[in-house]
Structure 1
Amino acid sequence: MPLSSLPAPTSSRRVLITGAASGLGLALARGLAERGDRVLATDVARARPDSVPAGVDYLPLDVRLDADWTSALAHVRDSWGGVDVLVNNAGVATGGRIDVATMDEWHRIVDINLLGVVRGCRTFTPLLKEQGRGHIVNVASLAGLVHAPGMASYNAVKAGVVAVSETLDHELAPHGIAVSVVCPAFFRTNLGASFAGADGDMEAAGKRLLERSRRSADEVAAIVISGIDARRDIILTDWDGRIAWRVKRFARPIYRLAMRRAGARIASTSHTIE
């Protein structure tokens, strides 16, 4: 589904996206802006990145910093008078066997991928309650639903994002606030550049999966935008992801066998500590 084929929204929405200088965040910013939405792209760079397209506003925001979230809230209040859609997209990649990945890696990915989402939800929920409407979109991963071996820390934080999203979907519905969680499988992006861990074998395997994927960030973004328009609670972007999730839910022995085989392949590789 190309971005150009998406219908325009019935009215211009005010959208804040984290991690929007590259990858899926950039594709979402571009796609939403082209349809007439007002988009505020945020990322860790203090100066506006060249990648952010014309017509899209930019604000530096490190999702680990409470002060940056406070500034983002003040910015949308002052500039827009509110916000309609918050997309918590920022994240990093990691992978590692439990006895190879370090505790520093665990702290880093929890702080960015899980607590970054939590900070965004906590910061903007009071504003959305004041408005009596809004939509929070949290980008997790298929890894939040299907838990392959060698990815304990990544699986854990993405499963946490799924759990937070489902909880808030129920908690905030009485206030007119929708919550969606996005669970894409591997797609071509620069996420591999954020790998920084001790398990070189798992890092190399993850980068290969990203590079070999036939799906682009723009293709995934088009499906995500369609899901946002429909206010779906879970947005699955790939047919193979849908199959994997359904197999886990409804054919557990087959799922378990596949994961055990994957674990055996990982066990046959040597530990590469850099």
Structure 2
Amino acid sequence: MTGRRRTYGTHAVVTGAGSGIGRAFALDLARRAGRVVCADIDSTTAGKTAAEIKEQGGEAIAVECDVSSADAVDHLAGAARSWFGREPDLVVNNAGIGAGGRVVGDGPLSDWHRTISINLWGVIHGCHTFLPAMREAGAGGVINVASAAGFTAAPKMAAYNVSKAGVVSLSETLAAELSGTGVGVTVLCPTFVRTNIFGGELIDATAARLARRISGVVGFSPERVARMTLNAHDRGRLYVVPQPDARILWHAKRFLPGPYARTAGLAGRFLPGAEPEN
């Protein structure tokens, strides 16, 4: 698919489609006359999204998939090809978990491994598995869901920040590698979105409560973010930084890196979250 309607009439795979932004992507793609594979580690929520699409007259199936496993993503690709009768032409690498509330050196290393295995390796697995066929066909698109955390580098969010920064870097690399091939790449970098990501087991309870309160006041709906991202992908945009606060931080980090880091450090001292025990 080429041109300005890359997200219409697609054969799309969406990971993390059981809730939040992933669910919003799946529903919007179905409304754009797409057929959608709704993948999620929770087969029940994936099934609910697929059922909602079918109730609205669309076509969808649910596939259970743990994106941290390369074998599971290979299985997802096989299931998608079997149902579509062809290769997918749009992949939304959305699945992820939240993590935060601890400074570097505090807490178990297993938190780092889990965060990166899902948030970064999940996107790597999706790109590695689905992109070769798109490159060969000279058509298609990939949308990777990162976060403004990937460039804001807020204190007490190191594992999450690193995982999302990796997704941004991967997407930038792909944009260079795929230039001129007919395959588009877009990376989404939002701040607060009204989803359940702040309820993850790797987020300190106090920090999670604050994030939910802020999100409830200034956060965008997942439907709005998904729609903005799909429209941007149609326009060939690499970066989607949807909220005004994210764009302010984006420019501050780029043009005033030293003052930005010092300000972030001062602000971090007042952020809630677990403090080091030693």
**Pairwise TM-score range, normalised by the shorter structure:** 0.7 to 0.9
The answer as to whether partners of 1:145 and 1:159 remain within 8 angstroms in 2 is: yes
1:243 to 229, 248, 256: 248
Residue 62 of structure 1: how far off its partner (Å) = 1.1
Summarize deviations over 1:124-172 as a string: whole Å, max 9, x none: 1221122121111110000011111111111000000001111111112
Match runs of 1:72-83 below 5 Å: 72-80=76-84, 81-83=86-88
Match runs of 1:167-246 below 5 Å: 167-197=173-203, 199-246=204-251
Could you say if the C-alpha distance between residues 49 and 210 of structure 1 is closer, same or farther in structure 2, counting changes exceeding 3 Å? Answer: farther
2:149 partner SS: helix
Matched, 1:166 2:164: no
Match runs of 1:49-128 below 5 Å: 49-52=47-50, 53=52, 54=54, 55=58, 56-80=60-84, 81-95=86-100, 96-128=102-134
Could you say if the C-alpha distance between residues 271 and 253 of structure 1 is closer, same or farther in structure 2, counting changes exceeding 3 Å? Answer: closer
2:145 to 139, 142, 145: 139
Residue 253 of structure 1: how far off its partner (Å) = 4.8
Summarize deviations over 1:226-268 as a string: whole Å, max 9, x none: 11211211111111111110111123354234312212214x8
Aligned equivalent of 2:25: 28
The answer as to whether partners of 2:123 and 2:167 remain within 8 angstroms in 1 is: yes
Q: How many residues align?
A: 265
The one-letter amino acid of 1:50's match is: K
2:136 to 130, 133, 137: 130
Residue 200 of structure 1: how far off its partner (Å) = 4.2
CA distance in 1 between partners of 2:70 and 2:157 (Å): 28
CA distance in 2 between partners of 1:182 and 1:33 (Å): 20
Query: Sequence identity of aligned pairs in percent?
Result: 34
User: Normalising by the residue count of structure 1, what TM-score does the alignment of the two structures yield?
Assistant: 0.88
Residue 174 of structure 1: how far off its partner (Å) = 4.3
**Root mean square deviation, CA, Å:** 2.3
Gaps of 5+ in 1: 1-6
The answer as to whether partners of 1:16 and 1:42 remain within 8 angstroms in 2 is: yes
CA distance in 2 between partners of 1:38 and 1:29 (Å): 9
The answer as to whether partners of 1:8 and 1:35 remain within 8 angstroms in 2 is: no
Could you say if the C-alpha distance between residues 265 and 57 of structure 1 is closer, same or farther in structure 2, counting changes exceeding 3 Å? Answer: same
1:179 partner SS: strand
Aligned equivalent of 2:260: 255
CA distance in 1 between partners of 2:37 and 2:49 (Å): 14
Aligned equivalent of 2:161: 155
Does 244-253 or 164-173 show the bigger shift?
Answer: 244-253
Could you say if the C-alpha distance between residues 102 and 203 of structure 1 is closer, same or farther in structure 2, counting changes exceeding 3 Å? Answer: farther
CA distance in 2 between partners of 1:234 and 1:168 (Å): 12
1:149 partner SS: coil
The answer as to whether partners of 2:205 and 2:273 remain within 8 angstroms in 1 is: no
Summarize deviations over 1:23-66 as a string: whole Å, max 9, x none: 00001111111121221111012355324422332111110222
Does 145-154 or 95-104 show the bigger shift?
Answer: 95-104
Could you say if the C-alpha distance between residues 195 and 210 of structure 1 is closer, same or farther in structure 2, counting changes exceeding 3 Å? Answer: farther
Aligned equivalent of 1:3: none
